[in-house]
């Protein structure tokens, strides 16, 4: 059997070329500073203070590079510790950091289970790793032990329904190729996948693309020797048992049962989200933020009028023009396709969003009285925040 470490030495994932850093920065969730500020620090973190982060299982560096580059561009003082089992993956991440001239990063080859040995951290990134541990609960617990007071975690774990067709193939390939080296396993598995009938669940799942993008992507998707997915209830339970509380998903609308059908009166939140997950059937991964189980803090909300809103994935000009004309706002994700309709009167508020002005300042500039502005902003926030298009953060403008 090929171990997890052997796999990532042979096929570092995701497949990245450090030369590409000259032409693009890969942005995503979790761990963009705007997003983590919104979910973990009430949208009001004092970014003049040092920021100490852990990237646990950093792979070839997507989360690391995003975090370090955005903080560096905003002149935020930071220290980041990167940990990964794979030397090959670490070397790629190091080369990407060098290509950007990023400082303040300590690279460690090791296990995230030893995270607390490296200190405590204001923020922990763990993207695509916990579901590959023999005991994911032990991983959650180890990261909880490395969290500083007032800190939080952004993470991603696989979800079952959007990955339909993956696990039967993983099990079949494990039985067939147990004694083979990684390269031979890859070659033989590719031949089998190419010959799968069109009716096979894997071929009928349009959400799965990694196997088309690179050898590393194919191996990680279909030949991984240690891979499990978490349904919502399983995720909530393992987090509770390891000292964490789910603070929120990066795209909460996907888990909002009321956006799919009427939510029964008295249904608890976990059951509601679990039901929404089953009805959608398209969620491949859970991207979320977590705080200690005893922590009562809430995500940022616009009832605090001093917060600064930022748009993500859309410009203020384009969005405000569509809203002013009464046009629907399309949402096009792999997991969902829908459209939003915002009140036309909200267009001046949206037009002023620039990552510098507070909600109160936007309201004044739009010439709206506080009551009218509050009503309109609540409608804007409900849809844009829930679909991940609007975040609150005090991050300086350079960090966008």
Cα separation, 39 vs 252, whole angstroms: 11
The CA–CA distances, whole Å, from 180 to 6, 176, 183 equal 12, 9, 8
The per-residue pLDDT string of the chain (400 residues; one tens digit each, 9 = 90 and over) reads 799 999 999 999 999 999 999 999 999 999 999 999 999 999 999 999 999 999 999 999 999 999 999 999 999 999 999 999 999 999 999 999 999 999 999 999 999 999 999 999 999 999 999 999 999 999 999 999 999 999 999 999 999 999 999 999 999 999 999 999 999 999 999 999 999 999 999 999 999 999 999 999 999 999 999 999 999 999 999 999 999 999 999 999 999 999 999 999 999 999 999 999 999 999 999 999 999 999 999 999 999 999 999 999 999 999 999 999 999 999 999 999 999 999 999 999 999 999 999 999 999 999 999 899 999 999 999 999 999 999 999 999 755 5
* Cβ contact 85:7 at 8 Å: no
DSSP state letter for 204: T
The CA–CA distances, whole Å, from 342 to 39, 335, 339 equal 23, 22, 10
Of the candidates 71, 90, 88, which has an alpha carbon nearest to the alpha carbon of residue 79? 71
- 54 strand-pairing partners: 81, 124
Q: What is the pLDDT of residue 397?
A: 77
DSSP state letter for 233: H
Of the candidates 372, 301, 333, 257, which has an alpha carbon nearest to the alpha carbon of residue 38? 301
Provide the whole-model pTM.
Answer: 0.97
* Residue 371 CA neighbour count, 13 Å, CB half: 0
Q: What is the pLDDT of residue 399?
A: 55
Q: How far apart are the first and last CA of the chain?
A: 44
Of the candidates 162, 161, 164, 154, which has an alpha carbon nearest to the alpha carbon of residue 130? 154
Query: Over the range 272-309, which residues count as b (16 or more CB within 10 Å of their CB) and which as e?
Result: bbbbbbeebebbbbbbbbbbbeebeeebbebeeeebbb
Of the candidates 237, 238, 275, which has an alpha carbon nearest to the alpha carbon of residue 255? 275
Per-domain residue ranges for the chain? 4-161+227-292, 309-399
Give the strand pairing for 147-158 and 78-84: unpaired
DSSP state letter for 164: T
pLDDT in tens, 249-282: 999 999 999 999 999 999 999 999 999 999 999 9
Cα separation, 320 vs 244, whole angstroms: 38
DSSP state letter for 85: S
Structure token digits, residue 110: 């090791």
Cα separation, 43 vs 141, whole angstroms: 26
What CATH fold (topology level) applies to the domain 4-161+227-292? Rossmann fold (3.40.50)
DSSP 282-346: ---EEEEEEEETT-------TTSTT--EEE-SS-HHHHHHHHHTT--EEEE-SS-EEEE---GGG
Question: What's the gap between Cα 178 and its chain centre?
Answer: 32
Structure token digits, residue 186: 């890859």
Count of beta carbons in the 10 Å neighbourhood of residue 202: 18
Examine residue 200 and say whether the peptide bond preceding it is cis (omega within 30 degrees of 0): no
Q: What is the pLDDT of residue 398?
A: 59
Cα separation, 224 vs 173, whole angstroms: 9
Surface-to-core class of residue 58, CB atoms within 10 Å of its CB (0-12 exposed, 13-18 middle, 19+ buried): buried
């Amino acid at each position: 059997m090929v171990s997890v470490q052997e796999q990532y030495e042979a096929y570092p994932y995701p497949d990245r070329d450090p030369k590409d850093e000259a032409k693009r920065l890969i942005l995503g969730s979790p761990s963009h500073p705007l997003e983590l500020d919104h979910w973990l620090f009430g949208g009001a973190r004092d970014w003049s203070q040092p920021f100490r982060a852990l990237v646990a299982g950093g792979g070839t560096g997507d989360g690391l590079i995003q975090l370090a580059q955005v903080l560096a561009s905003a002149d935020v003082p930071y220290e980041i510790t990167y940990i990964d089992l794979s030397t090959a993956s670490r070397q790629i991440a190091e080369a990407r950091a060098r290509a950007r001239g990023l400082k303040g990063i300590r690279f460690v080859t090791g296990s995230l289970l030893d995270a607390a040995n490296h200190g405590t951290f204001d923020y922990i990134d763990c993207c695509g790793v916990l579901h590959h541990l023999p005991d994911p609960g032990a991983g959650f617990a180890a990261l909880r032990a490395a969290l500083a007071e007032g800190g939080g975690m952004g993470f991603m774990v696989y979800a079952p329904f959007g990955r339909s067709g993956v696990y039967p193939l993983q099990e079949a390939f494990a039985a067939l190729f147990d004694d083979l080296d990684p390269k031979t396993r890859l070659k033989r598995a590719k031949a089998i996948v190419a010959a799968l009938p069109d009716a096979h669940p894997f071929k009928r799942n349009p959400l799965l693309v990694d196997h088309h993008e690179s050898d590393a992507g194919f191996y990680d998707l279909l030949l991984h020797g240690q891979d499990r997915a978490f349904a919502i209830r399983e995720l909530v339970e393992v987090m509770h048992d390891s000292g964490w509380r789910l603070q929120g998903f990066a795209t909460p609308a996907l888990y909002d049962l009321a956006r799919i059908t009427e939510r029964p009166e008295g249904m608890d939140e976990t059951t509601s989200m679990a039901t929404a997950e089953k009805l959608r059937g398209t969620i491949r991964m859970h991207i979320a933020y977590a705080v200690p189980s005893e922590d009562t803090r809430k995500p940022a909300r616009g009832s605090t009028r001093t917060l600064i809103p930022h748009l993500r994935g859309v410009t203020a000009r384009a969005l405000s023009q569509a809203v002013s004309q009464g046009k629907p706002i399309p949402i096009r994700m792999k997991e969902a396709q829908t459209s939003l309709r915002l009140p036309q009167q909200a267009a001046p508020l949206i037009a002023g969003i620039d990552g510098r002005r507070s909600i109160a300042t936007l309201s004044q500039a739009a010439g709206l009285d506080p009551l009218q502005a509050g009503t309109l902003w609540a409608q804007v926030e409900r849809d844009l925040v829930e679909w991940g298009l609007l975040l609150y953060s005090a991050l300086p403008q350079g960090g966008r």
